[in-house]
């Protein structure tokens, strides 16, 4: 349970900070998307995502029906993102362009703030 609390706090605070930063500075969303077209940036972020996702799954692969499942799913999502960026970079670029060119970005970022707040709540109250 201590690991779950630690990860909830780390990821909750990080997700809230990044989501709020991008909500307050929407031009940075486009800049980040543009930088992903650089193969080196995509490769490095793929490595980082792969390592973080793998570490999370190896240490927190808890499939229970409570708040800890959020952390497990987050770990798997990070791992899948890393695999896609490493092995299917064109697919990653196309997905990024579709998301960036949609009107969903503010909604996705607000959802990120909410998810982060949920993780912070469970991390600090469990």
Tell me, what's the pLDDT at 97?
Answer: 83
Would 114 be classed as within a structural domain?
yes
Helix/strand/coil for 63: coil
Would 29 be classed as within a structural domain?
yes
**Threshold 0.85, pTM exceeds:** yes
Would 72 be classed as within a structural domain?
yes
Tell me, what's the pLDDT at 111?
Answer: 97
In this structure, what are the phi and psi dihedrals at residue 36, rounded to the nearest 5 degrees?
-70, -20
Tell me, what's the pLDDT at 23?
Answer: 95
Would 123 be classed as within a structural domain?
no
- Helices 2-24 and 68-87 cross at an angle (nearest 10°) of 60
**The dihedral formed by the CA atoms of 3, 7, 117 and 16, expressed in degrees to the nearest 10:** 160
Domain residues for the domain of 84 are 2-118
Tell me, what's the pLDDT at 58?
Answer: 97
The count of other CB atoms within 10 Å of the CB of residue 30 is 12
Would 126 be classed as within a structural domain?
no
| Domains of the chain: total | 1
Tell me, what's the pLDDT at 96?
Answer: 85
Tell me, what's the pLDDT at 54?
Answer: 98
Would 124 be classed as within a structural domain?
no
Tell me, what's the pLDDT at 65?
Answer: 95
The count of other CB atoms within 10 Å of the CB of residue 88 is 13
The tens place of each residue's pLDDT in the chain, 126 residues long, gives 899 999 999 999 999 999 999 999 989 988 888 888 888 999 999 999 999 999 999 999 999 999 999 999 999 999 999 999 999 999 999 988 888 878 889 999 999 999 999 999 999 998
């Amino acid at each position: 349970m201590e690991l779950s609390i630690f990860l909830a706090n780390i990821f909750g605070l990080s997700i809230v900070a990044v989501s709020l930063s991008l909500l307050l500075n929407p031009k940075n969303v486009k800049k980040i998307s543009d930088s992903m077209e650089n193969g080196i940036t995509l490769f490095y972020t793929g490595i980082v995502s792969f390592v973080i996702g793998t570490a999370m799954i190896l240490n927190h692969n808890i499939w229970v029906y409570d708040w800890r499942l959020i952390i497990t799913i987050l770990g798997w999502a990070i791992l899948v993102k890393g695999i896609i960026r490493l092995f299917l970079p064109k697919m990653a670029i196309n997905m990024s362009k579709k998301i960036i060119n949609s009107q969903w970005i503010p909604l996705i970022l607000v959802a990120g703030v909410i998810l982060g707040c949920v993780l912070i709540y469970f991390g600090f109250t469990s």
